[in-house]
Amino acid sequence: MKNLFEKYKSLPINSQLICLEQRNAIEPHFCYPSNAEPIGFEGSIMYCFIEGYKDMVFASNPESCADHYVYPLAANFKDFMRLILFCGTANPIEQIIWMDKKQFDQHLLEEKEIQTEQQKELLHSLGHELNIVPMEEPFEYVKNIQFNFDDSNIKYSDEYYNVLGITR
């Protein structure tokens, strides 16, 4: 799957359109795992791979509405991109952690209503360039990945434990 990620990175696209902004410098946040490899950013949300979890894709959100600041979104980069093709951007996928199906469907409808022609063209191009199709049943797919997820291989900085008042 890393080959697909490398191919994605080589494409001349505006990744901000799908909420995967590329950054040269990373402003650290307390919850960013120390063993993470960034894929892209949406504000302070980092989408990433985490060492110890093979090709799994995660979100790390310092302003999370859920009980976790880091959580899985897809088993691999290909599935992550298939989710984006269905949802239009990474944003609805990231928010599944705290949503029920009705909330997700409503959010997805709102996102699709504001989708620009430029975004639609990019999604079509990504599907073609990466040879992938949209994910069917994205809500169920992500919830299944998150169900009983073992986060024991995620490594956090001392700041994480200090901010949350947790003893290592």
Q: What percent of the chain has pLDDT over 90?
A: 79
For 109-134, how does the pLDDT look when each residue is reduced to its tens digit (9 = 90+)?
999 999 999 999 999 999 999 999 99
> How many Å from the N-terminal Cα to the C-terminal Cα in the chain?
33
- Which amino acid type is present at position 24? N
Q: Name residues whose C-beta falls within 8 Å of residue 9's C-beta, 6 or more positions apart in sequence.
A: none
- Please choose, from the candidates 149, 121, 145, the residue with its C-alpha nearest in 3D space to the C-alpha of residue 135: 145
Alpha helices, H only, the chain: 2-10, 77-87, 91-95, 101-113, 117-130, 138-146, 158-164
For 48, counting Cβ atoms within 10 Å of its Cβ (0-12 exposed, 13-18 middle, 19+ buried), the class is buried
User: What's 131's DSSP letter?
Assistant: T
Locate 9 and state its tokens: 């990175």
Question: What pLDDT shows up at residue 165?
Answer: 85
- Please choose, from the candidates 63, 56, 73, the residue with its C-alpha nearest in 3D space to the C-alpha of residue 29: 63
Question: What pLDDT shows up at residue 1?
Answer: 53
Residues of the chain below pLDDT 50: none
Q: Considering just the CA atoms, what is the radius of gyration of the chain in Å?
A: 16
Residue whose pair of structure tokens reads 């120390």 in the numeric block = 34
Element (H, E) at 120: helix 117-130
Question: What pLDDT shows up at residue 161?
Answer: 85
Predicted TM-score of the model (pTM): 0.94
